């Protein structure tokens, strides 16, 4: 996992050579940063300003990249309206720069608010997509609701403590069962996994149905050989990377995640429990 060192970069400039290298290999990027959760309106304002600066940098550097936002950075745990207004500000700014915004999903207790906020903003701007997690049983219903409008959708396994499946194989099976529908029905489907069997299955579906906008997404530094292989085969590949101070972020997020499943998700291990 040589590239994992990129997660420890202190600023965006530290990522620039890596992003340009990936772009030269027909691989796009999705960029985020590592602040702790926004706990006050002041925290959230700083995080919004950071994303605005990031969007400006992507545009000025002419990078083939978009951004990924976690709504805990915008106050989803304490102020729904602040989160909505903050995300709207970022998405509106990104719309003017023609840059896409992915909205990541949080713990189970925030999903209803997250989906409500997202769908309102999508209705107005369209240049944004949402993430769903297959460690939750509700995801199939959420998927069908979202895809009525063919909304851009990223599918992941998820690794928070509130999983509704006791067996990790069931999470993988849920992913597999939902994947084809998302690939065929979303205007911008993204399959984000390091599970090689799921990647092979996704490639088959993409080829069979000639799904030109589908993306295979990875963490930079984890399955780069797999990502490079897919790009050479002609698939759309996007790598996620982040910058900032990783350690305060980890201190903030570790109590919320299932570490064994986080490792499984990153390494693509088939069976942990």
- What is this structure's pTM? 0.90
pLDDT, the chain, mean: 90
Question: Is the pLDDT score of 218 beyond 50?
Answer: yes
Residue 159 lies in a domain: yes
Number of structural domains (the chain) is 1
**pLDDT at residue 258 in the model:** 63
Q: Looking at 181-190, 194-203, 251-260, which range is the least confident one? A: 251-260
Q: Does 273 fall in a domain?
A: no
* Residue 2 confidence (pLDDT) above 50: no
Q: Are strands 189-192 and 128-133 parallel, antiparallel or unpaired?
A: unpaired
CATH of residue 220's domain is 3.20.20.220
pLDDT (tens digit per residue) in 235-269: 999 999 999 877 777 777 666 666 665 555 555 55
Of these ranges, 152-166, 174-188, 235-249, the one predicted with the greatest mean pLDDT is 174-188
Contact 202, 230 (CB under 8 A): no
**How would DSSP label each residue in 127-188?**
-EEEEEETTSTTHHHHHHHHHTTT--EEEE---BTT-S-SSHHHHHHHHHHHHHHHHHH-SS
Give the whole-angstrom CA distance, residue 59 versus residue 31. Answer: 13
The whole domain housing 251 covers: 2-267
Give me the residue label for tokens 């940098």. Answer: 57
pLDDT digits (tens, 9 = 90+) for 18-47: 999 999 999 999 999 886 677 899 999 999
Q: Is residue 129 part of a domain?
A: yes
Residue 269's nearest CA partner among 164, 174, 198 is: 198
Contact between 47 and 79 under an 8 Å Cβ cutoff? The reply is no
Helix, strand, or coil here: 95?
helix
Residue 272, domain member (yes or no)? no
Angle between helices 80-97 and 41-60 in degrees, nearest 10: 10
Residue 239 domain-assigned?
yes
Give residue 1's pLDDT band: very low, low, confident or very high (50, 70, 90). Answer: very low
b/e sequence 19-37, b meaning 16+ C-beta within 10 Å: beebeeeebbbbbbbbbbb
Q: Is residue 170 part of a domain?
A: yes
């Amino acid at each position: 996992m040589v590239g994992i060192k990129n997660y420890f970069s202190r600023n965006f400039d530290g990522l620039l050579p890596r992003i340009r290298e990936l772009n030269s290999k027909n691989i796009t990027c999705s960029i985020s940063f590592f602040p702790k959760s926004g706990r006050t309106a002041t925290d959230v304002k700083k995080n919004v300003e950071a994303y605005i600066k990031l969007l400006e940098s992507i545009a000025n550097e002419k990078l083939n990249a978009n951004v990924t936002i976690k709504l805990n950075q915008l106050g989803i745990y304490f102020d729904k309206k602040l989160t909505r207004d903050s995300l709207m500000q970022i998405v509106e700014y990104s719309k003017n720069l023609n840059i896409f915004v992915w909205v990541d999903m949080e713990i189970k207790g925030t999903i209803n608010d997250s989906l409500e906020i997202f769908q309102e903003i999508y209705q107005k701007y369209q240049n944004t997509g949402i993430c769903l997690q297959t460690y939750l049983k509700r995801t199939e219903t959420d998927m069908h609701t979202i895809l009525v409008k063919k909304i851009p959708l990223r599918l992941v396994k998820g690794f928070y403590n509130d999983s509704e499946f006791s067996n990790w194989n069931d999470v993988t099976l849920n992913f597999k069962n939902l994947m084809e529908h998302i690939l065929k029905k979303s205007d911008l489907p993204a399959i984000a996994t390091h599970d090689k069997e799921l990647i092979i299955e996704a490639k088959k579906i993409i080829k069979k149905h000639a799904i030109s906008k589908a993306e295979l997404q990875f963490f930079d530094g984890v399955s780069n050989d797999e990502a490079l292989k897919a790009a050479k085969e002609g698939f759309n590949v996007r790598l996620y990377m982040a910058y900032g101070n990783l350690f305060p972020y980890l201190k903030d997020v570790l109590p919320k995640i299932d570490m064994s499943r986080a490792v499984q998700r990153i390494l693509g291990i088939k069976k942990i429990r």
